[in-house]
Amino acid sequence: MKARVRKLVTALGETFWIVPGSMVLAGILLALSLVSLDRSGIVPPALLQSAWLYNGGGTGARTLLGAVASSTIGVAGTVFSITIAALSLAAGQMGPRLLRNFTKDRVNQITLGSFLGTFSYALMVLRSVRTQNEGEFVPHVSMSVGILLAFVCVGMLVFFVNHMAGRINVDTVIELVSQDVTATLQRLATEEPGASLPSSEMWRSARPVSDPRRGYLQHLDEEGLADWAAAHGTRIRLLARPGDYVFPGAPIALAMPLIEGTDAAIRDATALGPQRVSAADLEFAVRQLVEVAVRALSPGINDPHTAMSVLERLGAALCELVPRHLPSGVSVREGRAVLLVPRVDYDGLTDTMFHMIRQNADGSAAILIRILEVLTAVVSCEAQPRRVAALQRHADLVLSDGERSIETPSDLLDLRMRHRRFAAMRSGGPAACVDRLDF
């Protein structure tokens, strides 16, 4: 149940219409409240005649409110058009999976909501205005607030144009996605290493648990499922992790022993959806960055500098991971492992980061050299042997690809020098690199 609640909260947080819809409702309620205040007569007459409040007649009030309503709804259409144009540009150059970074942008939502809310406010106040022939009633306070909201909309339009000009910048998009990677790492990684993985032999007699649903595993209530398994004396090993696609009828878990209600408990603890989300899926956040780099390396775009920017953010994420540990996925209750969830390990994380970029940088000495420089920076602060071995594997793959695809001797020499620098950094640290004259 918690997984479904988290899915609902995440979906609402990324839905574009929630904030504009709320601001429209707020505009309607504000108009009704202020009109009631004007009708109540509690506003002092001296204040009504002051320069701070609207003190015109009914005809002027209707004209003014009509102008505010027509202009705000017209500019709202312009704001929507600008947003669509930015989305099209982002989809074409940086990938359609990055559209969520624009749709969940609060500035876009608040700007559109400001114009729609002001439009709704003006309409609701306009319906209460009466001219002299109709028994004159002019809501002075409501009119003054309407004028103020119109000026607020002018300011929001200027701010929105400046904001969108910055958001469609590829470096800004890369930084925003890298922040998602960092946030996901900080949320999932732990200060202390997790429980060790139990032997695979213990699952020899486990029974499979199938799932009739389909979709990506978006959220998992790991604590709740572990508590259920401990309370019912069973062990569960999930075969899918957050971000994996669950196929209908395929096994989703192993249980030992398999007791009644295991399939229902797993369904209650998992939430599936039609697309991947980054809340608990580290690989998805990384792949968004990698997709920007891969598109930048395509012949149609051919922008190696963007790919280099992505590589720098990936290296920074690995450096931030140095003092932390990726979760093991083992949940222990009373000294007994009751739940095992597959998790991304360091090898898998670095594979996701570097494999596709290296494969699409075939023959590009600049990108291959930058990969080695990033790996050198990471290995300079990494001390865990298994992680260093993973970095060494990627450095060797880069050198192998370069020796196969780079034809210019000087470029190949530069690549080999960067590889030797990586090896020196791994074995002797920064001092060993400084002492090497060929660096």
Report the pLDDT value the prediction gives residue 45, as an integer from 0 to 100. 76
Q: Residue 218: name the closest of 284, 265, 271, 266 by CA.
A: 271
Tokens 């968004």 found at: 288
**What torsion do the CA atoms of 322, 221, 97, 350 make, to the nearest 10 degrees?**
30
Confidence (pLDDT) at 222: 87
Q: What pLDDT was estimated at residue 183?
A: 85
| pLDDT the model gives residue 439 | 42
Q: Residue 341's closest CA among 327, 326, 329, 325?
A: 329
Other Cβ atoms within 10 Å of 404 Cβ, number:
9
The pLDDT score that the predictor gives to residue 360 is: 92
Burial 228-243 (b: 16+ CB within 10 A, else e): bbbebebbbbbbbbbb
pLDDT at 437: 43
pLDDT of residue 241: 87
Q: Where are the alpha helices (DSSP H) in 189-261?
A: 222-231
Query: Rounded distance, CA 286 to CA 119, Å?
Result: 41
Contact indicator for 65, 126 with CB cutoff of 8 Å: yes
* Residue 217 CA to its chain's centroid (Å): 17
Strands 336-340 and 245-246: unpaired
The predicted structure's pLDDT at residue 91? 65
What torsion do the CA atoms of 51, 57, 59, 62 make, to the nearest 10 degrees?
50
For residue 190, the SS3 value is strand
CB 132 within 8 Å of CB 118: no
For residue 334, is it left (φ>0), alpha (ψ between -120 and 50) or beta?
left
Low-confidence ranges of the chain (pLDDT < 70): 1-4, 6-14, 48, 87, 89-102, 194, 278-280, 431-432, 434-439
pLDDT at 52: 74
Q: What is the pLDDT of residue 12?
A: 67
* Burial letters 30-54, b for 16+ CB under 10 A, else e: bbeebbeebeeeeeeeeebeeeebb
Q: Angle formed by the axes of helices 304-320 and 170-188, to 10°?
A: 20
Sequence ranges of the domains in the chain? 2-168, 283-324+345-435
pLDDT tens digit sequence for 271-311: 888 887 766 678 888 888 898 898 888 887 788 998 999 99
What's the half-sphere exposure (Cβ side, CA atoms, 13 Å) at 195? 16
Nearest Cα neighbor of 228 from 193, 264, 198, 279 is 264
According to DSSP, residue 249 is labeled T
> Which of 345, 339, 338 has its CA nearest to residue 238?
339
> In the block, which residue shows the tokens 């979709």?
215
Q: Strand pairing of 235-238 and 336-340?
A: parallel
* Residues 218 and 277: beta-carbon distance below 8 Å: yes
Residue 375, pLDDT score: 95
